[in-house]
Amino acid sequence: MKKRMTSLLLAGAMLLTLSLTGCQPDSPSGENSQQPGTETSGGETEKKSLVIGVVNDVVSLDPAVKDSSAEQQIAAHLYDPLVDYTTDLERIPGLAESWEILDDGVTWEFKLRQGVKFSNGNDFNADDVVFSLERIMNDPTLEMGVYLMRLKEVKKIDDYTVQLVTKIPYPVFSGSLSMIMMLDKETCEGLTPEEISANPVGTGRYRLVEHVKESSIKLERNDEYWGELPDAETVEFRVITNAATRTTALLNGEVDFISNIPVMDVERLENAEGIQVVTAPSLSCTYVGFDQYHETGSAGTDDPNPLMNVKVRQAIYHAIDIDTIIDTVLNGYATVANSYMPEICVGYDPEMERLAYDPDYAKQLLEEAGYADGFNLRIDARSDSDFNADQVAQAIASYLGKVGITVEVNLLPRASFYEKVNPEDLQSSCFIGGWSDTSGEGMVILNDMIHSYGDGMGEGNNGHYSNAEVDELLAQASIEKDMDKRAELVKQADAISREEAGYVPLFFKDQIYGVREGITYTPRAGDNIMAWDFEF
């Protein structure tokens, strides 16, 4: 308690110095800034504050710049999308009160929420929607554009009605829209992303108090928020890159909550007083990808490429004991994957099982494929991933060694790894990849991962798995409005790719969080940490 008081006093002192030295020009909390200090000395009426230890600072507070969960989680505090989603990835109205697909199948009409104000007092209306969407569509360097690839045009019907026309019928487009935050046209028009980032104006649950680069992002609650108000009145995202330091900061009360706890620290935190460890499966699938593109000359393996043979791929699938890998490499903090799709997805098939671990059968398959004496293989993996890809690759190498495949493990830093597995110019025969998607739609995931590569499809299908039947099923699923029918089509496509061992799904790594006693945290699907998931 004492420590918390001093830290609050410090925060107060700091705000005081800041306002005195005037290095923070547009402080939205002008008259509030000295309150934390005075209040704590009074004792009782302490503000509900939340300090969250995060791994990295955001690059920009402009919500369109980067497609990463770290950036999107901060953006979600400051801004709102048209369509929002719950902790279970269910779509709910955001700044759009309601929406419908018109009879042509490609026009979406959104009725906007009225009376919503931006933090600078401006009204939110259709012009802001048109501006926010067109800005992203017209600038290829804004990463969020990937979510609007299927959008053809945006039309303002009246002040509170907009129509969005997609290039093809795309029933899950509302899901893509939940990634796109709404900016104020009057403020942001003509501004660069850096200028928008320096002075973010949004409608979200929180407003920016201060962003000290590489140190912290301080937010305060927007009490005029149009929806339900979150418990935490002030939120600070504090950057603590080093995992051991982050754990210490939670243990001695400098922060209230941390994520990305390394598995080796879990026990120590569980035994600590006043700290609770919360785990939840993540949406991030770790898998083994195969080069199914180069008939000959695949980098790192024999000629002709043995992985073109379905039996070889099946053999590799059967040779890997995923349960043991999870127990030993990840201390059990992961869920076995039977597909790229997490359980929560439309189209996930709970009846399906992985191809069983059976090294003898794997050997038999290799023999049938004509590789009784095995072959050479290079597994490329990231050396700096947060899902222990390096150790997973080494474990897989030893399993493959047991069935006669000679494996070389090639560990690479992030940038070199992505260059090797770039689907345009694949230079890897076998790699440990990761994919995460918050759409909650199996169709979206499979379109990215097992649809044939090219023309905007199969963007994550680095190994060029390709099956005409799968493509056809997914094309049908993409335009199927009925959720159950869509799920059925997705299940069929999923089953085919499993049968053909187009890839080996490994696991969904658990998210491990630590939270101070007195605060309840409900983890959400996906990696995002939202201040409104905390209850005091």
Of 158-166, 246-254, 391-399, 481-489, which segment contacts other proteins by CB under 8 A? 246-254
Using rule CB under 8 A, residue 22 touches other proteins: yes
Using rule CB under 8 A, residue 414 touches other proteins: yes
The whole-angstrom separation of Cα 398 and Cα 383 is: 18
Residues 54-113 that bind other proteins (CB under 8 A): 59-60, 65-67
Binding residue (CB under 8 A) for other proteins from 5, 157, 244, 352: 244
Binding track, positions 372-401, relative to other proteins; x by CB under 8 A: ------------x-----------------
Of 6-14, 129-137, 295-303, 521-529, which segment contacts other proteins by CB under 8 A? 6-14
- Going from the C-alpha of 466 to that of each of 14, 291, 442, 505, the distances in angstroms are 58, 11, 17, 17
For residue 434, the cross-strand partners are: 286
Of 91-99, 138-146, 312-320, 327-335, which segment contacts other proteins by CB under 8 A? 138-146
Binding residue (CB under 8 A) for other proteins from 98, 241, 520, 522: 241
Q: And the tokens for 216?
A: 């912290």
Q: Nearer Cβ to other proteins, position 219 or 322?
A: 219
DSSP letters of 360-410? HHHHHHHHHTT-TT--EEEEEEESS-TT-HHHHHHHHHHHHHHTT-EEEEE
Binding residue (CB under 8 A) for other proteins from 32, 163, 416, 492: 416
Residues 185-214 that bind other proteins (CB under 8 A): 192-194, 212-214
Of 9-17, 88-96, 316-324, 513-521, which segment contacts other proteins by CB under 8 A? 9-17
The whole-angstrom separation of Cα 336 and Cα 281 is: 10
Binding residue (CB under 8 A) for other proteins from 245, 324, 376, 522: 245
* Spatial contact of 285 and 340, defined as CB atoms under 8 Å apart: yes
Using rule CB under 8 A, residue 143 touches other proteins: yes
Query: Contacts by 89-95 with C-beta closer than 8 Å and gap 24+?
Result: 89/344, 89/438, 89/439, 89/440, 89/525, 89/526, 90/440, 91/174, 91/175, 91/178, 94/178, 95/124, 95/129, 95/182, 95/203
Binding residue (CB under 8 A) for other proteins from 41, 413, 499, 517: 413
Binding residue (CB under 8 A) for other proteins from 45, 138, 252, 296: 252
Q: Nearer Cβ to other proteins, position 272 or 310?
A: 272
Nearest approach, Cβ of residue 205 and other proteins (Å): 25
DSSP letters of 457-504? B-TT-TT----HHHHHHHHHHHT---HHHHHHHHHHHHHHHHHTTSEE
Of 18-26, 118-126, 258-266, 492-500, which segment contacts other proteins by CB under 8 A? 18-26
Binding residue (CB under 8 A) for other proteins from 73, 166, 203, 216: 216
Of 256-264, 283-291, 407-415, 474-482, which segment contacts other proteins by CB under 8 A? 407-415
DSSP letters of 310-370? HHHHHHHHHH--HHHHHHHHSTT-EEE-SSSS-TTSBT--TT--PPP--HHHHHHHHHHTT
Q: Which amino acid type is present at position 524?
A: R
Residues that bind other proteins (CB under 8 A): 3, 10, 13-14, 17-18, 21-23, 59-60, 65-67, 140-141, 143-146, 149, 192-194, 212-216, 238-242, 244-245, 248-249, 251-252, 254, 384, 413-419, 422, 424, 448, 456, 459-460
